[in-house]
Structure 1
Amino acid sequence: MVNPERDIQPFVVNLTGINSNMLKNAPKFYEVAKRIVEITEDCIIVAHNSSFDYRILKTEFKRLGFPFKRKTLCTVELSKQLIPDMASYSLGKLTRALGIPMSDRHRANGDAMATVKLFKMLLSKDLDKVIVKDAIKVEQKSKMAPNLNSIIEEMPSDTGVYYIHNSEGDIIYIGKSNNIRKRIIQHFTGTNSKSKKIQRLVNTVTYEKTGSELAALLKESAEIKKNKPIFNRALRRTIFTHALYSSIDDNGYINLSIDKSNREETPITTFSTRASGKHFLFKAVEEYNLCQKLTGLYQTKTSCFKFDVKECQGACINEEPIDLYNKKVTSLIEKYTYNSKNILIIDKGRAIEEKSVFLIENGIFKGMGFFDLNHQINNKKILSSLITPMDNDRDTQHIIQSYMRRNKRLKIIDLNNN
C-alpha cells in the first residue's frame, strides 16, 4: 500500500475495496521512490495496460523532480495479438478464461503474480518473437510543445471521432481513427503544411468513443457537414470515385461493370479507385464463377479467357443457361447491396458488454445507436428508442456499402424474417 495523500474516490473504493482509512499508516510515494528506481533499473516494466501504470509512475516521479524513464510491455496488447477473439481482456476475466489462478484481486501481489503467469503463457505462444522484436516500447524524447504533450496524455487508444479546437473553442478539424491517441500524435508530429497549421492553432482536443469503425466513419462524415471545419474543406470530394453497376444485355444476361460513380443509377457498391473496383470484380469472378467478358474484364467478341481454359460455363458465347448465370450474379448483387432491404447491421460497441446497431429500412439508412447485449434488439419499440436518426445521403451510402464489403464477418439481421 502507498498513501496517495488525498482521499480515495468512491468508484475506486468500489472497484478495489481500498479506502482512505486503510492507507493512513502506509508509506508515502517519496518514501518508496528510491526503491522503485532501484528495482526497475535496467529492467522492462511488464503490466496489464502498462500505459496506465507507467503514466502513474512518471507523474509521481515528476512531482519529485525526477525524470523516470523505462521500457514497457503491455500484456493487454500482447494478449489481443497472441490470443485473439477472447470475450474480455480485463485481467480478472482473461486469467479466469485461461485457467490462471488468481488471489487477492486488485492487490499488488495478486495482480502481479497473475500477470507473471499470463506473461509466461504469452512468451510460450510467441513463436514469431513478436515480444522481443516489436512489443517493447521505448519512450522517445519528445520534440513536441508541452501543451501538445499534455493533450496527448488525455487521449484514449480507442476507436472514435476526435475534434480539434482552437483557443476560441471553434472546431478546426474533425477526424476518425481506430486509435485516437496514435492519430493525434501523428497530427502533432507531422511536418506537412496542414499538420503545422493545426499544431500552431490547437488549444484542446475532445473526442467521442464509438467502438465501431463504421460508427466513427458515419459520425465523422455527418459532423464535418454540420460543422464545416477549416481544415476539412477539401474532404470527401473524391473518396468514392467509382462504382459497380449492373445491366441486361441483348441476350438477357446480367452484365456487371465498373464506372464513375456520378451516374444516375443506384450502384451496387462503391470504390475509392477504378483499380480497387477491378480488383473486387476479379475476385467476384472467381468466387461466383462468372464470365470475364460479361463483367467487363476481358474485351473480346468471342469467348473469354476463362472459357478457353474451361473455367467459364460459356455465358460469353450464349452456352450457359441464362437463368443459371443470372442467379449467380443476383446472389452477388444481393450480398453487396442493401437496396430495398430492411436490415440491422451489428458491430462492435464502446465496451465489452455493448454492441453498435445501424438501421436500414427499405434501403434507406435511418440512423445508429448502441445497445446492451441483454436487449432484444429486433423488438421495434426498443429499437426505435436506441436509434439516433442520421441523414441518408450519398456519402452515407458509400460508407456503409464499402464497410459491408470489407468486413465479411459483420452480423446482419434481416428484419423481414423477424
Structure 2
Amino acid sequence: MYAILDIETTGGKYNEEGITEIAIYKFDGHEVVDQFISLVNPERPIQPFVANLTGINNQMLRNAPKFYEVAKRIVEITSECVVVAHNASFDYRILRTEFSRLGFEYERQSLCTVELSKKLIPYQESYSLGKLVRGLGIPLSDRHRANGDALATVKLFKLLLTKDSNKSIITEAVRIDTKKQIDDKLLKLVEQAPIATGIYYMHREDGTIIYIGKSKNIKKRLNQHFTNDNRKSRRIQQEVESVSFEITGSELVALLKESEEIKRNKPKYNRALRKTKFDQALYQFTDDNGFINLKIAKVDHRKTVITTFSNRQQAKSFIHRWTEEYNLCQKFTGIDTGKNNCFNYTIKQCFGACISEETPQEYNVRVQQLIQNNSFDSQDMIIIDRGRNIDEQSVILIEKGQFKGIGFFNLNHQINNIEILRSIITPMEHNRDVQHIIQSYTRKNKKLKVVPISKS
C-alpha cells in the first residue's frame, strides 16, 4: 500500500518551514482507496515568492486547521504505507519536522518518483514534476498546489509501476510489508485479489517471486491454485506468503506481460511455461505460373513465416476459413489435391485460378491482402485494447514489424504524437513467442482496433 502525497510550505530557513497545504492519496497499486486534502494554518508567514508560486496567501489560511488538528488523520491514512512523493526527501523531512514539534516520532518507508523516473524513464529533458508529466502526456492541473501535484504523482507512479519490468518496486514493498504467518493465510490472499484481468505474482516471505500467472479473473484463478491438490499446487500453497498483481484490462497485454515476466524472473514453479508452444506455421511460395500458394508446415525458424498456430488442427481450421473469406483457390491453399478444378469453383467461391480463368495478378491481390492482414512484417502500427479502467485504453506498439512494448493512455494526443507514444511505452523484447501471441490474439479478436501509424 502506498501513500502518495504532496506538501506545500511557507518557505524559509531549513527546518523552519511550515505546511500550508497537504494532499494524500492512498493507493493500493491499482486504484486510489482513500484520500485526504486540506489547507493547513502554518502559524507563521508565507514567503512572498512562495505565495506568488502557489497562490496560497496568509489570508486564505487564517481559518484553516493547524497541523496538530490534522495530524491524526495523516497518521491514519499513511499507516502501513510506503510514502511516495516527487522529491520524497523534502516532503518526508517536512512531515517528520512537523510531527517532531508535536513530540511524535513519525517514521515511514519512502519512495521518490524523481529517482524512480530517472531509472525507469531515462533521457528525459527534465525531471521536475511539471515538465516530466507534460513530456509523458499526463494531464496536470493546479500546478504547485498540493492536490494537483499529488494527483499527477499518482498517475506518474502508476506509469512507473507498469514500466518496472524487474518488479523492484513491488518486491521492495512486499519485503517491507511482509507480516507474520496467520491462520487462513490462503483465504485472505484470495479475498484481497481483484475480479479483473491481469497478471499476478506469488511471493515468498523475502519477496522472491515463485510463480507468475495470467487470468481474466485473478481472484477465481488464485482460488483454483489454492484449492488444487496436485503436487505443484501443494508446494506453492506452503511457500506463498503474499500475492501482488497488476491489472491490465486487456487479455492481450496480460499474455504479453506474462510471457516476458516468466522469461525475465524465471520463477521456481513456472519452469514448464517459459516458452510458448506453437509448432505449425503458414508459408507462401510462388509457383511456375506466378500464383502465390499458401502452405501449412511445421515451424522452421530458418524460413519467413506469415503467422503461426498452436497446432495443426487450428492451422487447418484457419486456412479453410481464409480460403472462403478471400475467395481463394483450394488448390493453392493445399486443401484440394485433385487434378481438375477445385470444389469451390463449382459453387462459385473460386474465380477459376485453378483452371487459368483468373490471372495470377488478379488472384495474388487477394492473397497479399490475407498476408497483410495476418502478418505485421515490416509494418508500423498500434493495437488499441481495453485499459485498466473505463477512462483508459491500452496500446501495443509495433515498428518495422518488431514488437516494441505496451503502455496505457487516457488522451488521444498521447498516441497521436509518436514521441509521447514512445515515452509512455514500457519497452519489451521482441521474439517469436510474442509475435505468435499477438498474431494469434488479433486473428481471434476481429473487433480489436489495429491502427497503422505514420511517422511523417
Offset of residue 302 of structure 1: 2.7
Question: Contact (CA 8 Å) 1:355, 1:373: kept in 2 or not?
Answer: no
The CA distance in 1 between the partners of 2:273 and 2:34, in whole Å, is 43
Question: Contact (CA 8 Å) 2:276, 2:433: kept in 1 or not?
Answer: no
The CA distance in 1 between the partners of 2:344 and 2:301, in whole Å, is 30
Question: Contact (CA 8 Å) 1:252, 1:322: kept in 2 or not?
Answer: yes
Counterpart selection for 1:330 from 368, 380, 384: 368
- 1:240 and 2:278 are equivalent in the alignment: yes
- 1:279 and 2:317 are equivalent in the alignment: yes
Question: Which amino acid is 2:323 matched to?
Answer: V
Matches within 5 A, 1:70-149: 146-149=184-187
The CA distance in 2 between the partners of 1:171 and 1:310, in whole Å, is 58
Question: Which amino acid is 2:336 matched to?
Answer: Y
The CA distance in 1 between the partners of 2:247 and 2:372, in whole Å, is 32
Which one scores higher on RCO, CA 8 angstroms, separation ≥ 6?
A: 2
User: 1:319 maps to which residue?
Assistant: 357
With over 3 angstroms needed to count, the CA separation of the structure-2 counterparts of 1:196 and 1:299, relative to structure 1, is farther
Counterpart selection for 1:205 from 202, 227, 243: 243
**RMSD of the alignment, in Å?**
2.3
User: 1:390 maps to which residue?
Assistant: 428
Offset of residue 206 of structure 1: 1.0
User: 1:223 maps to which residue?
Assistant: 261
- SS of 1:377's partner is helix
Counterpart selection for 2:339 from 279, 301, 318: 301
Counterpart selection for 2:413 from 366, 375, 378: 375
Offset of residue 170 of structure 1: 2.0
Offset of residue 230 of structure 1: 1.7
Question: Which amino acid is 1:341 matched to?
Answer: Q
User: 1:261 maps to which residue?
Assistant: 299
Percent of aligned pairs sharing the same letter: 54
- SS of 2:413's partner is coil
Offset of residue 263 of structure 1: 3.8
Question: Which amino acid is 1:370 matched to?
Answer: F
With over 3 angstroms needed to count, the CA separation of the structure-2 counterparts of 1:387 and 1:238, relative to structure 1, is closer
Offset of residue 12 of structure 1: 5.2
User: 2:404 maps to which residue?
Assistant: 366
Offset of residue 311 of structure 1: 2.8
Offset of residue 347 of structure 1: 0.9
The CA distance in 1 between the partners of 2:336 and 2:224, in whole Å, is 43
- SS of 2:213's partner is strand
Question: Contact (CA 8 Å) 2:384, 2:448: kept in 1 or not?
Answer: yes
Matches within 5 A, 1:138-177: 146-177=184-215
Tell me the alpha carbon deviations over residues 45-104 of structure 1, each in whole angstroms, 9 at most, x when there is no partner: xxxxxxxxxxxxxxxxxxxxxxxxxxxxxxxxxxxxxxxxxxxxxxxxxxxxxxxxxxxx
Name stretches of at least 5 consecutive residues in structure 1 with no aligned partner.
Answer: 1-8, 16-144
Tell me the alpha carbon deviations over residues 173-216 of structure 1, each in whole angstroms, 9 at most, x when there is no partner: 11111111111111111133322222222221111111111111
How many residue pairs were aligned? 283
Question: Contact (CA 8 Å) 1:353, 1:373: kept in 2 or not?
Answer: no
In the superposition, the TM-score normalised over structure 2's length comes to 0.59
The CA distance in 2 between the partners of 1:383 and 1:310, in whole Å, is 46
- SS of 1:303's partner is coil
The CA distance in 1 between the partners of 2:228 and 2:288, in whole Å, is 55
